[in-house]
Chains A and B, each alone.
Chain A
């Protein structure tokens, strides 16, 4: 086989091989360089794959030459490619922007290990996105989760330890539930390959274990994806992780789990369990709506900026699930598109936090007072990303919100209620973001806020960091005006997911 034929495996292989190398590289800057290079390489491959799946094709790769369903198969479709793009893109931007803050917050001798763990996260998440094997998902989930716990707890913030312990417990329960569910399906079908499961379940006369499997898998994945009310681990994990880590995982980690949830439910269960579409809608839609309202509502009263954005993520995940719960093309398209656009917006917001982190040690809202005068470009980028999160036209967030509302109108009279919730939540987003932005632009620096470092005349973040932040903000505008690329991928992803739905 030529090298080209192996490209589908590379998004996992490259970071996985680079990780041990980074762990042993000294001095630590070399480890950073290796991790960055691996991340950039993965991103380049992800771009190639995304372009290749643009026509809706699926690229399959048999690991070790063992054909499916016996061996592990990678199957890269538009959905996988889109999420892969988010993972590698977020990793690349965050690791470039985060170098100085990581250097400051993590002890020097631990940094190579930190970068190794970072690459393991990339490898694990990428693996989940592109594998076609249910057990393989679990393996990659464990790889990424364990590595995620490490990178979250790596900073100097001691509270990260309790946050990550909570995450570890919840994450392990989620993964275990998922494994139990996969076990049931394996028991009934004798296969672990998604496509094969889908084909074989049709012949199973006794469906009770499959129902049980569906329940375990949905709940387990909902836990890992921080779906309301299983979100409790998320806000603190975001708040206490090193800024660069937050920027990375906030953009992609929960979305990868959503991808598995969509795959399992739409590919495997919808065609094989009678009325599963209704079950899915009845289970997911209320949680999505509650999540939207709860996340936005709590964010309005939250005073820590990072935790506030965490709660906002819970609401945004609600949008993604809401679209999926319609079980039609319009809804799924909106849902997948929002996976991409929310990653753009939230990634840019947290990247701006990385830049602000050069001068701020705490992120209470009052610590940001008056920061716009000292870091106008960073706060400008933050503001653009905030507009995207709200869904103001001209930004990426507007496009997915548009599709979501159009899809909601297609739900008949229920649609009006759904539109009301979406609109109300958008307005709540205006409120919670404005609470940050107005004092940040206009208020005088708070003398009590210790983090503000008033004595030193601080200015903008370093040029390299600023460039990344501005690029992220510019992407929000670019994909708000030229949305064709993510739209095509989302359209194919929706078609592919619906292919097995009766």
Chain B
């Protein structure tokens, strides 16, 4: 089967969901079945890629020398696997959340969600920048109704910020960067070692890199991060989609992919004009952590934490050493597992108790032990404490930084780890050890079963990645073209 099937499966699912919108049980069964089918398909592709294959499917030439087409390589496989795998969990969670909160327009929600997943798979498997850009824009547009789901004036204003920043950066910076690349290199294909060596060099290269990094607004490198906190108005499953499954992951994935396959890490490393990226990423990491420290709302704190974590990936990619590129890829996975757990927990708390502020969480672990255990695991992964996934990726990023004697990056990671601990540990302390405030808004227990199952699963994945990461590391080592660790 052609790898394009990975895009058609969720699109067909979206169509079926739209047609069966009248019957919620059928609709949601189809959502889950589509997600499972997709994950199974991506797994079958994965077997082939791990064995060294690069399944390819070209749909047709859109511009001379540039086709709409797919070619799966390890980095894309990794992103595709997260998106399709977490879609199953996120769907289970959505069912619990949307029903538990009696949300309106649920059919629209599931349809847009499925289209967004199709777009994420399109980005993951794209064979060239144009295909990637096409699906990148589809992802932006299909997630807009999800962010604006509530439909009141405040939500729409926030959703406008979301759409405005993502569209403006992509059309204003990302697209010109792509066309520049096309003009200079004559191709847009993703090629091992990059296509820009000999085509663009000197200060222009640094400028082009800037067009890419800030044009891919989904990566939320400051100052184009504001859409992410704005998008907090969305229902929690959407936040999970944005922060873990598809959107921001599509952003950092694109940046890593562009650095590895368009610029080429050796070409960029030899060019001093690209050094600014380390500093921009470092600034974002520290600044976002400090802002997160000052938040009083749980979801907003998590949003700023995401901004910081995304720039970890960018920083890792910007170190431009094979080990750090592996670290970047692993961190995409690690952060996906950790952050989806945290958002699921935030949504579970909201569904069960309608609480959204940090200070309200005192003693909540006694009522919701499963949720808070998962939350704690997710938070520890954000800080990078073993035995969680976050430790593994940090290890590789640091190893890469030592490889290139990049002490600035090492310093940044240390400071940020301290800051992460400083905003996550008090919440954990509050939830587990402080007495409950009285009187409670609502007498509640655990969240609905679907939600608990979903967040327990992702918490276990977070732990599991610490112990079973070898296949992933081996796979991503292929990206930088070497077998050794």
Interface residues of A (CB under 8 A from B): 387, 390-394, 399, 402-403, 405-406, 409-410, 419, 423-424, 426-427, 430, 434, 438, 442, 481-483
Nearest residue, chain A, Cβ from B145: A441
> CB < 8 Å: which of A390, A409, A434, A442 contacts B171?
A390
Contacts of B137 in A (CB 8 A): 392-394
Contacts of A393 in B (CB 8 A): 130, 133-134, 137
**Supplied contacts A406-B179, A430-B171, 4 more A-B pairs, CB within 8 Å:** A392-B137, A393-B133, A409-B179, A426-B172
Rounded to whole angstroms, the CA-CA distance of A424 and B176 in the bound complex is: 11
A393-B134, A402-B63 given as contacts; is B171 within 8 A of A423 (CB)?
A: yes
Contacts of B172 in A (CB 8 A): 423-424, 426-427
Q: Is the beta-carbon distance between A409 and B151 smaller than 8 angstroms? A: no
User: How many chain B residues touch A (Cβ–Cβ < 8 Å)?
Assistant: 26
Q: Chain B binding site: helix, strand, loop or mixed by DSSP? A: helix
> CB < 8 Å: which of B138, B148, B156, B179 contacts A402?
B179
Contacts of B180 in A (CB 8 A): 409
Number of A-B residue pairs having CB atoms within 8 Å of each other in the complex: 57
Q: Is the beta-carbon distance between B156 and A442 smaller than 8 angstroms? A: yes
Rounded to whole angstroms, the CA-CA distance of A483 and B67 in the bound complex is: 12
> CB < 8 Å: which of A387, A405, A442, A482 contacts B176?
A405
A277, chain B: closest CB distance, angstroms: 22
Q: Is the beta-carbon distance between A427 and B156 smaller than 8 angstroms? A: no
A393-B134, A438-B160 given as contacts; is B68 within 8 A of A409 (CB)?
A: no
Q: Is the beta-carbon distance between B183 and A409 smaller than 8 angstroms? A: yes
Q: Which of B136-172 contact A (CB under 8 A)?
A: 137-138, 141, 148, 151, 156, 160, 163-164, 167-168, 171-172
Q: Which of B115-149 contact A (CB under 8 A)?
A: 130, 133-134, 137-138, 141, 148
B343, chain A: closest CB distance, angstroms: 25
Rounded to whole angstroms, the CA-CA distance of A388 and B63 in the bound complex is: 17
Contacts of A409 in B (CB 8 A): 179-180, 183
B199, chain A: closest CB distance, angstroms: 12
B124, chain A: closest CB distance, angstroms: 17
Contacts of B60 in A (CB 8 A): 481-482
Contacts of B15 in A (CB 8 A): none
Contacts of B134 in A (CB 8 A): 393-394
Q: Chain A binding site: helix, strand, loop or mixed by DSSP? A: helix
Rounded to whole angstroms, the CA-CA distance of A41 and B401 in the bound complex is: 70
Contacts of B58 in A (CB 8 A): none
User: Mind listing 24 A-B residue pairs with CB under 8 Å?
Assistant: A390-B171, A392-B141, A393-B133, A393-B134, A393-B137, A394-B134, A394-B137, A402-B179, A405-B175, A405-B176, A405-B179, A406-B182, A409-B180, A419-B176, A424-B172, A427-B172, A430-B164, A434-B160, A434-B163, A438-B160, A442-B148, A442-B151, A481-B62, A481-B68
Q: Is the beta-carbon distance between B171 and A399 smaller than 8 angstroms? A: no
Nearest residue, chain A, Cβ from B132: A393
Q: Is the beta-carbon distance between A399 and B179 smaller than 8 angstroms? A: no
Counting from the closest, the 6 A-B pairs by CB-CB distance are A409-B183, A393-B134, A405-B179, A442-B156, A423-B172, A426-B171
B211, chain A: closest CB distance, angstroms: 11
Q: Is the beta-carbon distance between B63 and A399 smaller than 8 angstroms? A: yes
Nearest residue, chain A, Cβ from B168: A427
With most chain A CB atoms within 10 A of its CB, the pick from B148, B160, B175, B182 is: B175
Interface residues of B (CB under 8 A from A): 60, 62-63, 68, 130, 133-134, 137-138, 141, 148, 151, 156, 160, 163-164, 167-168, 171-172, 175-176, 179-180, 182-183
B156, chain A: closest CB distance, angstroms: 5
Rounded to whole angstroms, the CA-CA distance of A392 and B171 in the bound complex is: 8
Contacts of A399 in B (CB 8 A): 62-63
Rounded to whole angstroms, the CA-CA distance of A177 and B137 in the bound complex is: 46
With most chain A CB atoms within 10 A of its CB, the pick from B68, B141, B167, B182 is: B167
Q: Is the beta-carbon distance between A483 and B179 smaller than 8 angstroms? A: no
Rounded to whole angstroms, the CA-CA distance of A430 and B141 in the bound complex is: 13
Rounded to whole angstroms, the CA-CA distance of A28 and B183 in the bound complex is: 56
Rounded to whole angstroms, the CA-CA distance of A392 and B163 in the bound complex is: 13
B213, chain A: closest CB distance, angstroms: 17
Rounded to whole angstroms, the CA-CA distance of A455 and B182 in the bound complex is: 55
B252, chain A: closest CB distance, angstroms: 21
Rounded to whole angstroms, the CA-CA distance of A424 and B183 in the bound complex is: 20
B64, chain A: closest CB distance, angstroms: 9
Rounded to whole angstroms, the CA-CA distance of A434 and B162 in the bound complex is: 13
Rounded to whole angstroms, the CA-CA distance of A52 and B173 in the bound complex is: 40
Nearest residue, chain A, Cβ from B155: A442
Rounded to whole angstroms, the CA-CA distance of A442 and B141 in the bound complex is: 15
> CB < 8 Å: which of A402, A430, A483 contacts B168?
A430
With most chain B CB atoms within 10 A of its CB, the pick from A410, A442, A483 is: A442
Nearest residue, chain A, Cβ from B68: A481
> CB < 8 Å: which of B133, B156, B176 contacts A423?
B176
Nearest residue, chain A, Cβ from B133: A393
Nearest residue, chain B, Cβ from A391: B171
A104, chain B: closest CB distance, angstroms: 33
Rounded to whole angstroms, the CA-CA distance of A399 and B68 in the bound complex is: 13
Contacts of A483 in B (CB 8 A): 62
B207, chain A: closest CB distance, angstroms: 10
Contacts of B175 in A (CB 8 A): 405, 423
A427, chain B: closest CB distance, angstroms: 5
A305, chain B: closest CB distance, angstroms: 19
Rounded to whole angstroms, the CA-CA distance of A265 and B81 in the bound complex is: 57
Rounded to whole angstroms, the CA-CA distance of A392 and B138 in the bound complex is: 9
Rounded to whole angstroms, the CA-CA distance of A438 and B168 in the bound complex is: 16
Nearest residue, chain B, Cβ from A431: B164
Contacts of B151 in A (CB 8 A): 442
> CB < 8 Å: which of B68, B160, B183 contacts A410?
B183
Nearest residue, chain B, Cβ from A408: B179
Contacts of B130 in A (CB 8 A): 393
Contacts of A410 in B (CB 8 A): 183
Rounded to whole angstroms, the CA-CA distance of A399 and B61 in the bound complex is: 12
Contacts of B68 in A (CB 8 A): 481
With most chain B CB atoms within 10 A of its CB, the pick from A393, A399, A426 is: A393
Contacts of B168 in A (CB 8 A): 427, 430
Rounded to whole angstroms, the CA-CA distance of A402 and B175 in the bound complex is: 9
A200, chain B: closest CB distance, angstroms: 38
A399, chain B: closest CB distance, angstroms: 7
> CB < 8 Å: which of B138, B167, B176, B182 contacts A430?
B167
Rounded to whole angstroms, the CA-CA distance of A394 and B175 in the bound complex is: 13
Rounded to whole angstroms, the CA-CA distance of A393 and B131 in the bound complex is: 9
Rounded to whole angstroms, the CA-CA distance of A410 and B180 in the bound complex is: 10
Rounded to whole angstroms, the CA-CA distance of A49 and B198 in the bound complex is: 45
Nearest residue, chain B, Cβ from A439: B156
Rounded to whole angstroms, the CA-CA distance of A442 and B147 in the bound complex is: 13
Contacts of B62 in A (CB 8 A): 399, 481, 483
A31, chain B: closest CB distance, angstroms: 42
Rounded to whole angstroms, the CA-CA distance of A423 and B137 in the bound complex is: 16
B149, chain A: closest CB distance, angstroms: 11
Rounded to whole angstroms, the CA-CA distance of A26 and B341 in the bound complex is: 72
